[in-house]
Structure 1
Amino acid sequence: MNAPIKTALSMTAFAAFAGTAFAQSKTPDVTVSELITDAGGFGYFLILLSIISLALTIEGFISLKRDKLAPPELIDEVQALFDEDQFQEAMELCEDQPSFFTKVCGAGISKIGHDFTVIETAIEEMGDEESIRLHQKIGWLALLANVAPMVGLLGTVWGMILAFKTISATQGQASPAELAEGISIALLTTMFGLLVAIPTTAAFAFLRNNLVRSVIEVGAIVEDLFERFRPGEAALRQ
């Protein structure tokens, strides 16, 4: 029998043995609530952080959508009012229906009659101000994504302290069962910290990228809307 066949038979036999051993092994039935309880106060705190993270993520997906920042129907209405030179009505519309688009647009409308540079500056300043405010909303997700693993690490340190105190109390004669509590806390808090941090980081990155793209798109729409007040464009329209 050649070497490749012997190797294949050996691997098959090992796989069969491992499968049988795994099937015969008894894995304790552990529920999520029991794991949280075993993690102690750190586990409950991390669960609280996960609930806050989920709430912020859902709120971000709802309030930071492109259609929320710049409703298409509002853009069409403002565009129509601009085409008819009804700037006062456009201003009132922006005040009545606040959004990222209407706030930036309203800042520009309020400066109509001044030099184009004044209008442009007002639009840019309001755009920057609103953009910062929107980024602050998702900034809490970044904070949670950083705090959660640190809390998990703190729980890990606490669990190891408990394990070493057990060793000290038994003068180095502690059994694995006696060390299990501290080690369990150390591992569970690390796991829960990562379980909170990983999806929170992903949600933050997704919302941030979408927000940046939406802000750029809305900025381009507003810029195009006020382009008619640029001196060269105004002369062409006449």
Structure 2
Amino acid sequence: MNPTDAAAAATQAATNAAVQVATADNMNFIQRAFHEGGFVMYIIAAIFIMSIMVIVDRIMKLKNLNVDKKEFTDQIFRMVVAGDLRQAISYCDARPAALTNTVKAGLVQAMNKRPDEEIQVAMDAAVMREMPKVEGWVSFLAVFGNIAVLAGLLGTIVGMIGSFKAVAVADPATKSIELSKGISHALNCTAFGLLVSILCIVAYGLFQHRIQKTENEVVETSMSLLNLVVANREKIRD
């Protein structure tokens, strides 16, 4: 190839690259990020969608399982002191949640005149049965957060490898463009992976706090109920 043809080819390549850059610039931010980020962006997007599904599911479930602890315990303890366990059980049935189901398990055993140990065992078993319902898929948010970071790192490595390969065989006029494309690929993957990871980790921390609070309330209330039943056994009506 003579120098004139080589120069023309280089000019044409530079023009094509400039057109591609201009086209990308005309896209909106998200489209441009996915265009420049490559296939790894879609992997991170899939993680993001699954994370949002878990977050929405837990928000809805925890809202439905929310119980005003003070109001509930005041009503239940009043009924226990009055010896009306049937009414207390009906009150729990009307408000299905981890706290109410655990208390109900103890009340059923108390109404059946079972020993204190069996009442405690029944409530402990209820806690073990109810808490997984509260936790749901929250633990997967921590997994998704770690995978998002690793996927972003994978995209970074793929982008840099592609960038150096392109620079190695590119004409001098297009080397800087090819290098910038590879770096853009890498940085888009890194940024998106970190954003998804931050979302997952923050949501995981908030949900864990709420779950631990619920578990503490259930355990505390069950212990208080057992003490109350023991102190008022003679008042319990059949």
TM-score, length basis structure 2: 0.72
Verify the 8 A CA contact 1:131 1:215 in the aligned structure 2: yes
Residues 166 and 222 of structure 1: is their aligned pair in 2 closer, same or farther, counting only changes over 3 Å? same
User: Counterpart in 2 of 1:68?
Assistant: 65
Which deviates more, 78-87 or 120-129? 78-87
User: Counterpart in 2 of 1:23?
Assistant: none
Letter matched to residue 60 of structure 1:
R
User: Counterpart in 1 of 2:116?
Assistant: 116
Query: Per chain length, whose mean CA-contact separation is higher, i.e. which structure has more relative contact order (CA < 8 Å, sep 6+)?
Result: 2
Tell me the alpha carbon deviations over residues 85-130 of structure 1, each in whole angstroms, 9 at most, x when there is no partner. 2323333443443211121112212322211011112212221332
User: Is it true that 1:208 corresponds to 2:208 in the alignment?
Assistant: yes
Q: How far apart, in 1, do the equivalents of 2:31 and 2:171 lie?
A: 34
User: Counterpart in 1 of 2:14?
Assistant: none
Verify the 8 A CA contact 1:138 1:204 in the aligned structure 2: yes
Verify the 8 A CA contact 1:148 1:197 in the aligned structure 2: yes
1:174 CA displacement? 6.6
Q: How far apart, in 2, do the equivalents of 1:234 and 1:97 lie?
A: 24
User: Counterpart in 1 of 2:223?
Assistant: 223
User: Counterpart in 1 of 2:86?
Assistant: 88
User: Counterpart in 2 of 1:98?
Assistant: 96
Q: How far apart, in 2, do the equivalents of 1:95 and 1:42 lie?
A: 49
Q: Secondary structure at the match of 2:109?
A: coil
Letter matched to residue 58 of structure 2:
G
Verify the 8 A CA contact 1:166 1:174 in the aligned structure 2: no
Q: Secondary structure at the match of 2:96?
A: coil
Gap runs ≥5 in structure 2:
1-24
Q: How far apart, in 2, do the equivalents of 1:140 and 1:81 lie?
A: 41
Gap runs ≥5 in structure 1:
1-27
Verify the 8 A CA contact 2:163 2:179 in the aligned structure 1: yes
1:71 CA displacement? 3.7
Q: How far apart, in 2, do the equivalents of 1:183 and 1:219 lie?
A: 53
Q: How far apart, in 2, do the equivalents of 1:196 and 1:168 lie?
A: 33
Q: Secondary structure at the match of 1:110?
A: helix
1:64 CA displacement? 2.7
User: Counterpart in 1 of 2:193?
Assistant: 193
Letter matched to residue 89 of structure 1:
Q
1:35 CA displacement? 1.4
Q: How far apart, in 1, do the equivalents of 2:132 and 2:53 lie?
A: 21
Q: How far apart, in 2, do the equivalents of 1:97 and 1:173 lie?
A: 72
Verify the 8 A CA contact 1:145 1:196 in the aligned structure 2: yes
Picking from 5, 29, 32, the partner of 1:31 is: 29
Verify the 8 A CA contact 1:104 1:123 in the aligned structure 2: yes
1:206 CA displacement? 1.8
User: Is it true that 1:43 corresponds to 2:41 in the alignment?
Assistant: yes
Q: Secondary structure at the match of 1:137?
A: coil
Verify the 8 A CA contact 2:83 2:232 in the aligned structure 1: no
User: Counterpart in 1 of 2:176?
Assistant: 176
Tell me the alpha carbon deviations over residues 43-66 of structure 1, each in whole angstroms, 9 at most, x when there is no partner. 23323433432343344344335x
Q: How far apart, in 1, do the equivalents of 2:117 and 2:180 lie?
A: 70
Number of positions where the alignment pairs a residue of Structure 1 with one of Structure 2: 208
TM-score, length basis structure 1: 0.72
Q: How far apart, in 2, do the equivalents of 1:130 and 1:79 lie?
A: 21
Q: How far apart, in 1, do the equivalents of 2:86 and 2:210 lie?
A: 32
